[in-house]
Structure 1
Amino acid sequence: MNIHFRSSSYLVSNSKLVQINPYFHRNYHTGNSNVIHHEDSTIYALSTAPGKAAIAVIRISGPACLQIYQSLCPSKPLPKPRHATLRRLYTPHLLPSPSTILDSGALILYFPSPSTVTGEDVLELHLHGGPAIVRAVLAAIPSSLPASHSLHTPPRIRYAEPGEFTRRAFTNNRIDLPQIEALGDSLSASTERQRQLAVRGTTAALAARYEHWRQLLLLARGELEALIDFSEDQHFDESPAALCASVAGQILRLRRQMEAQRANAVRGELLRSGIGVALLGAPNAGKSSLLNRIVGREAVIVAAEAGTTRDVVEVGVDLGGWLVRLGDMAGLRRAGLAGGDVGEGGGGPVGVVEQEGIKRAKQRALESDVLIVVQDASRDIDPEVKVTAKECVDLGINVVVAINKVDKLSNATAAEARWKEMIQSALDVPSDRIFFISCRNAVNSDTNSSEPDPGNIQFFLQGLISTFKSMTSALIPDSDTTDDIPGASIWQESLGATERQRVLLSECLDHLDTFLTAVGAADIAPYESQQLSQDPLWEGKLAPEIEVGDEPAIDIVIAAESLRAAADSMARITGRGDAGDVEEVLGVVFEK
């Protein structure tokens, strides 16, 4: 016998008193413990954008969907589930008449639980999109239930809070946290690459991978728990040192996969938030001209006078499907030089404003994801440009060099060879990232010109896009570098991991490092990465060359606790499970 006390935060079920969340209780009547219903609460909201439109959609979710339908469409049979039905909507509790019509023709769709987007009954009203009609129907929904609906408190109907439909879908196991984050990315995607990234994340594969890792950590912890709890009472085929070595081998392989996942999360974030590109060069090298050619419009001022750009000017652009944040900056030159004509590339006095512009330009270059060094082909590299670009190379920033104004060269072939040798020697930039362009030729070219790529700008852009592609391609661990297409697909989906997931992965990896230190296996990680990853028959065991001493310094309690904390980090990524679940751990222990 099941007795529900709505006014209390306790549930009497099978003669047991259990404290429950005041907002939720499990559906004990149906026996489905995976579906959680919000206590007698039905929510509704406008699902389409407000304002004039051909169609407006109002979504309703909760136990009162049928009553709301009967109030809005009196004397009309319930639509067949998942079939659109044309209905007139009337003001609730009034006789149907022309004066009580809210909408003369609305499409009604009814979705019975539990196979719905929220796991509850869902009713959708597809109305004419006039603002007055929408307001009238929204006002009628909460008054749909009569006061005499029940001797008890009637189900509550209220406007949904932001994100509440999605929250109910998660609560009722219709969607997981990584899918929810991907759904948000889908709504904000503005480029093709962002759309592809969001679509990959809407599948359950990413969450399934996290859950698989959590289960592996749980199994590993179970082995150690068995050793702690029953080592004195039971006979184990393996010694404690051998058992810890076996578990450490499994954790090392898992750790390598998590590191690849974390690295891919960083790469995916470049797709999601955009790639920061900075243009660095001396005054009048052609940075602003090149930016205008990239974005296809006059986004920044271009003039013969040097120093027209003093602050960092950022422009966002969709370049080949990648969201790119281009930053045009002040030209770099060494301060304190006297004489010379700045407009001709000399080193005249540097004022306070220009000094601040140079400082900001250097900072923006060091914070960029890609640095484009724009160099005047007719002049030597400015020392300040060389030093800053080399710092970026040393930091691992992708550096691309654009040698501009090649139209001024008399012997282009010899000059290009000399420039390539000079750039590779000074900055260690590969030759396929050195481009020779002419912004002047691109600007002055006739639209009907037979030349396919005036100024080599398109060739430069293709090289830039190739750089973006290499930066955002998924990394695959050495052990997974096979012809297994499904495996490669999984690592492509790992690009959809969000910053929140990356932080929790880092936290999990820290706990795994603590575990490896506790069992004395921290020093074999480099060997495992280089040797075991190349062995297709490796099943998580340590290499036979690695000897385990008879009595190594192993702290099994700390090791087990580290695995528990690591599994808890995995559980927090998906929002499912609990690494401290006693029954799960005991199940593993008794099975061993």
Structure 2
Amino acid sequence: MRAFSAQSLRWVSPCRPSWSRVSALAPIKARPFRGVASPALSRPHIRPFSASTPARSTFDSESTIYALSTASGRAAIAVVRVSGPACVQIYNALCPNTRLPRPRMAAVRTLYDPTRDPSANSVLDAGALVLYFPGPKTVTGEDVLELQVHGGPAIVRSVLTALARLNQPAHSVRYAEPGEFTRRAFINNRLDLTQIEALGDTLAADTEQQRRLAVRGASDALSKRYEEWRQQLLFARGEMEALIDFSEDQHFDESPDELTFSVSSQVKKLQAQIRFHIQNASKGELLRSGIKVALLGAPNAGKSSLLNQVVGKEAAIVSTEEGTTRDIVDVGVDLSGWYCKLGDMAGIRSELGGPAGQGPFIIGAVEQEGIRRAKARALDSDVVIVVLSLEKRPDDPSLYQLSVEPEVASAVHDCTQAGKCVVVAVNKCDLLPQEDRSGQVARQLTAAVGIHFPDVPERRIFFISCSEAQKGISMDHSDPGQLQTFLRGLVTTFEEITSPLGGDDGEAGTYDASYWEDSLGVTHRQSANLERCLRHLDDFLDEAQPQRSSVDPTHGMEVDIVTAAEHLRFAADALAKITGKGESGDVEDVLGVIFEKFCVGK
């Protein structure tokens, strides 16, 4: 093997905390109800929250928890879920003198008040469906008892009251905290933090795209990817630290320069993947939180009419009087599975007069504030719909022209410079004869739009008529006012701005489309930790690849191996915080933020 070559290495003592390997929760022996025999309960391996000594939490696994898992109110069926070591004893108390159902097999049982002798007067529900799931292969990793009772409010209230009466000092039975069932699943290694966040998205999904994003995130694809990256960094760190521990008495197949270069190459490939995941996280956030759409245009161009036609109701006041809309009107709408927030805003104009030759006029303070807010809302949006109106020429009514307010053109230019996606909708096309709407006049109007807005591609220019859409007038009676054509083009624009990046970049490796589609599920918390990891990897490369001008050719590169290895450890720690895995994954500070978003019965 190759001998270790001489190299200028600065040896320093690493400043590392002494992590205590204490499990956050120790296995707890079940405490049976008095006078009731219980089977031996096996406890799975419990995930530690942190490498440090844990603080006492209200989420203790000694107690058995219960909650109503279905929505409150009157319904056909209500599901009460119980999880913890006393599930068998609770069943025996509610269903005395009946055999425990076979695991994962439903059985019809009569539920009795546990504080009274079984009789017709102590029946809580005469036809409950009971299921028993023994741990650890359950949703929480513990024994789970599920009571499917009739959904009348009185029956549900009586069952919950009966469960509360089973609480005793020797065995705690209490109502669950919000998200505690999911938290116990995390503690018992049934779910990791990325899957839990996806579960929260599943519960909050309203549109088809939100559902697809949540279902993708519910798999363990991202979790395995983060863990694979973390293992790569740990292995790279081990190679670097081998130079520290065995540099004097061992021989290596690679010289320190070659080893450092090899690790740096791996880190660069990992950086490329992380960057794409961070960029795709912002695209996924558009699907999760909604796409902000701004309606920008001059007064009386038809912005409010277009908003009302899209949302299907009178969301904004429509009037022939200019300046009717003064403040922003935001409306959330589901467009073919895409959740977007449409914002109708004040018309933008200047005091110098419009394009039709109107004389100067004075804009009041209220309208000026509305214009300022409109421009700010457009710059804060993801998609800007520029609504232009088609007008007859004053000198020749047989000819038509686009009404483009200079202030509108300036605002659109600012949006394109800010990287916003711009769509143009030319309204009032009902003024054109039917034969001119798809012929030479339409091509001339498209060219005119291109002159005013050169950054807008032709595929994002649409001709509509809100008046015909409202009246249901159409040449072929299938698309009044060409509104459906406009909406299909808008959805295509949504698909373009939310398509994941990374498929064609060789630096990040060759992966199929599904690999990058999974990265759309990266949440804000995950993205923040990925950015932290990326900064530590940059610090590693700065340390492992010093400037050539500072390198002494007689001694090789001067690399602080200890500091470089520490940067790799910090980067691995950032990945560990995403999933909650690894000894350095101190996730106690983020658990409350994640679980508080869940309802009580989840």
TM-score when normalising by structure 1:
0.84
Displacement, 1:205?
Answer: 1.1
Give the counterpart letter for 2:420 in structure 1.
I
Match of 1:429 in 2: 456
Match of 1:330 in 2: 346
Which of 489, 494, 513 is residue 519 of structure 2 equivalent to? 494
Displacement, 1:30?
Answer: 5.4
Q: Distance in 1 between matches of 2:292 and 2:65?
A: 42
Contact 2:47 2:186 in 1 (8 A): no
Displacement, 1:128?
Answer: 1.0
Structure 2: state its 5+ residue gaps.
Answer: 1-19, 31-40, 49-58, 392-401, 587-602
Match of 2:262 in 1: 246
Q: Find out whether 1:377 has 2:359 as its counterpart.
A: no
Kindly provide the CA deviation profile for residues 153-200 of structure 1, in whole angstroms up to 9, marking residues without a partner as x. 622111111100000000000011111111111111111111111111
Contact 1:91 1:140 in 2 (8 A): yes
SS at match of 1:478: coil
Which of 442, 451, 454 is residue 469 of structure 2 equivalent to? 442
Q: Find out whether 1:570 has 2:575 as its counterpart.
A: yes
Match of 2:107 in 1: 85
Q: Larger RCO: Structure 1 or Structure 2 (Cα < 8 Å, ≥ 6 residues apart)? A: 2
**Correspondences of 1:178-257 after superposition (within 5 Å):** 178-257=194-273
Deviates more, 1:34-43 or 1:320-329: 34-43
Q: Find out whether 1:478 has 2:504 as its counterpart.
A: yes
SS at match of 2:99: coil
SS at match of 1:109: strand
Which of 369, 378, 391 is residue 414 of structure 2 equivalent to? 391
Match of 2:152 in 1: 130
Q: Distance in 1 between matches of 2:565 and 2:389?
A: 61
RMSD, aligned α-carbons: 2.8
Give the counterpart letter for 2:311 in structure 1.
V
Q: 1:84 to 1:549 in 2, by over 3 A?
A: farther
Give the counterpart letter for 1:367 in structure 2.
D
Which of 558, 562, 569 is residue 563 of structure 2 equivalent to? 558
Displacement, 1:406?
Answer: 2.4
Q: Distance in 2 between matches of 1:494 and 1:19?
A: 34
Give the counterpart letter for 2:580 in structure 1.
G
Displacement, 1:459?
Answer: 1.0
Contact 1:258 1:505 in 2 (8 A): yes
Contact 2:355 2:405 in 1 (8 A): no
Q: Distance in 1 between matches of 2:214 and 2:240?
A: 39
Q: 1:142 to 1:406 in 2, by over 3 A?
A: closer
Displacement, 1:18?
Answer: 8.8
Q: Distance in 1 between matches of 2:462 and 2:358?
A: 21
Q: 1:98 to 1:325 in 2, by over 3 A?
A: same
Q: Distance in 2 between matches of 1:389 and 1:522?
A: 44
Match of 2:81 in 1: 59
Displacement, 1:144?
Answer: 3.1
Q: Distance in 2 between matches of 1:482 and 1:253?
A: 5
Displacement, 1:377?
Answer: 2.5
Displacement, 1:353?
Answer: 0.5
**Correspondences of 1:233-312 after superposition (within 5 Å):** 233-312=249-328
Q: Distance in 2 between matches of 1:560 and 1:173?
A: 29
**Correspondences of 1:106-125 after superposition (within 5 Å):** 106-125=128-147
Contact 1:72 1:144 in 2 (8 A): no
Q: Distance in 1 between matches of 2:105 and 2:26?
A: 30
Q: 1:196 to 1:246 in 2, by over 3 A?
A: same
Match of 1:50 in 2: 72
Contact 2:546 2:558 in 1 (8 A): no
Displacement, 1:296?
Answer: 2.1
Match of 1:585 in 2: none
Q: Find out whether 1:463 has 2:489 as its counterpart.
A: yes
Contact 1:103 1:133 in 2 (8 A): yes
Q: 1:402 to 1:446 in 2, by over 3 A?
A: closer
Give the counterpart letter for 1:98 in structure 2.
A
Give the counterpart letter for 1:164 in structure 2.
E
* Seq. identity, %: 55
Q: Distance in 2 between matches of 1:377 and 1:436?
A: 10
Displacement, 1:260?
Answer: 1.1
SS at match of 1:377: strand
Match of 1:355 in 2: 368
Higher helix content, 1 or 2: 1
Give the counterpart letter for 2:27 in structure 1.
H
Contact 1:241 1:550 in 2 (8 A): no
Q: Distance in 1 between matches of 2:422 and 2:174?
A: 55
Kindly provide the CA deviation profile for residues 66-115 of structure 1, in whole angstroms up to 9, marking residues without a partner as x. 11110111111111110111111111142211111111111110000111
Deviates more, 1:435-444 or 1:250-259: 435-444
Q: Find out whether 1:416 has 2:442 as its counterpart.
A: yes
Deviates more, 1:344-353 or 1:360-369: 344-353
Deviates more, 1:425-434 or 1:239-248: 425-434
Q: Distance in 2 between matches of 1:426 and 1:507?
A: 43
Structure 1: state its 5+ residue gaps.
Answer: 1-16, 148-152, 524-547, 582-592
Q: Distance in 2 between matches of 1:95 and 1:442?
A: 70
Q: Find out whether 1:33 has 2:45 as its counterpart.
A: yes
Q: Distance in 2 between matches of 1:399 and 1:419?
A: 17
Kindly provide the CA deviation profile for residues 395-447 of structure 1, in whole angstroms up to 9, marking residues without a partner as x. 11100011122233476544433333343344311111111222222223348
Kindly provide the CA deviation profile for residues 448-506 of structure 1, in whole angstroms up to 9, marking residues without a partner as x. x733223221111111100000111222343579998x842222122111111111111
Q: Distance in 2 between matches of 1:513 and 1:425?
A: 44
Q: Distance in 1 between matches of 2:404 and 2:248?
A: 74
Q: Distance in 1 between matches of 2:463 and 2:358?
A: 19
SS at match of 2:348: coil
Give the counterpart letter for 1:556 in structure 2.
I
Match of 1:364 in 2: 377
Give the counterpart letter for 1:514 in structure 2.
D
Give the counterpart letter for 1:76 in structure 2.
T
